[in-house]
């Protein structure tokens, strides 16, 4: 079923787009996870990156790696459970090509950050894990904040 | 005016909002959508029925923690129709499409 509306002018189309953007923003703002959770998840992820970069055979940073992974798993599990109680099931597996591109690009970026945190340190730059953890943690927090349910909302354009 | 991609089933204001909400996540509960739209059960059910008949959404009732909950989700066809509709609206407004 895909009937064509009789006629939609520029103003109607603009109002419809505004309605979509506003609706999506409202639900995102109303049901977004608390900031404290976002910070906790970001720090857990940063700890994983940092620990991976710092781990050597004669230190205990591997414990940080395991601790960070457990904390992140706990935080994300709690987040999904809380959203479900509120009536939202987030997108975990991509539903559209856009989602797939979005998830793949995230996976590549995070893989590069994690690998770089260790490899660049081995090349002699001592602060590589620090910088990688900062970038990775911040990016992870931004993504949870911006896309709390996993879906990509419609963007508002300047001329709408 | 080129209205290619526009869809009357989706374009009705409440149904447009329902699709916009469902597009943000995998599934949403009936009650949450009702609260967001600020409409009665019957009004929401009527719009959901239209979307369901067009095969744009699916409704599944599950019993969780002793109570019945109705979960709604966009079908693949529904996601495509919504994306096409948004792209068509953006084309009319004169902006580049932001959804693929």
Question: What are the structural domain ranges in chain A?
Answer: 34-146
Residue A4: the pLDDT is: 53
SS3 B16: helix
- Asked whether the beta carbons of A12 and B8 are under 8 A apart, the reply is no
Q: What is the pLDDT of residues B59-79, one digit of tens each?
A: 999 887 778 899 999 999 999
CA B26/CA B17 separation, integer angstroms: 16
Cβ of A13 within 8 Å of Cβ of B100? The answer is no
- Give the rounded distance of the alpha carbon of A78 from its chain centre: 16
Among B29, B73, B79, beta carbon nearest to A87: B29
ipTM for the predicted complex: 0.85
CA B13/CA A48 separation, integer angstroms: 45
Residues shown for chain A: 160
Q: In sequence order, what E strands does A28-141 have?
A: 88-89
Interface with A, mutate which of B24, B28, B50, B52 (most A CBs under 10 A): B24
pLDDT reading at A1 higher than 60: no
Q: Say how many C-beta atoms besides its own lie within 10 A of residue B83's C-beta.
A: 21
How far apart, in Å, are the Cα atoms of A61 and each of A38, A58, A65, A68, A120? 23, 9, 7, 11, 17
Among A2, A10, A19, beta carbon nearest to B92: A10
Residue B99: the pLDDT is: 53
Phi-psi region of B38 (alpha: psi -120 to 50; beta: other; left: phi over 0): left
pLDDT reading at A113 higher than 60: yes
């Amino acid at each position: 079923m895909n009937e064509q509306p009789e006629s939609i002018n520029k103003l109607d189309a603009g109002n419809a787009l505004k309605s979509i953007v506003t609706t999506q923003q409202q639900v995102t703002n109303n049901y977004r996870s608390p900031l404290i959770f976002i910070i906790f998840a970001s720090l857990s992820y940063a700890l994983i990156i940092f620990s991976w970069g710092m781990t050597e055979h004669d230190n205990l940073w591997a414990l940080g790696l395991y601790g960070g992974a457990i904390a992140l798993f706990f935080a994300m599990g709690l987040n999904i459970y809380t959203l479900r109680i509120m009536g939202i099931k987030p997108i975990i597996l991509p539903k559209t090509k856009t989602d797939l591109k979005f998830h793949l690009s995230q996976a590549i970026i995070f893989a590069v950050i994690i690998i770089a945190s260790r490899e660049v340190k081995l090349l002699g730059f001592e602060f590589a894990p620090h910088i990688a953890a900062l970038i990775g943690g911040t990016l992870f927090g931004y993504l949870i904040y911006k896309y709390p349910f996993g879906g990509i909302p419609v963007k508002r354009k300047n001329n709408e | 005016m080129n209205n290619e991609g526009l869809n009357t089933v989706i374009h009705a204001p409440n149904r447009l909002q329902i699709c916009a909400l469902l597009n943000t996540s995998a599934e949403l509960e009936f009650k949450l959508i009702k609260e967001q739209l600020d409409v009665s059960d019957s009004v929401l059910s009527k719009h959901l029925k239209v979307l369901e008949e067009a095969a744009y959404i699916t409704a599944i009732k599950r019993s969780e923690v002793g109570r019945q909950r109705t979960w709604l989700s966009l079908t693949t066809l529904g996601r495509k129709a919504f994306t096409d509709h948004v792209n068509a609206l953006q084309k009319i407004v004169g902006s580049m499409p932001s959804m693929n």
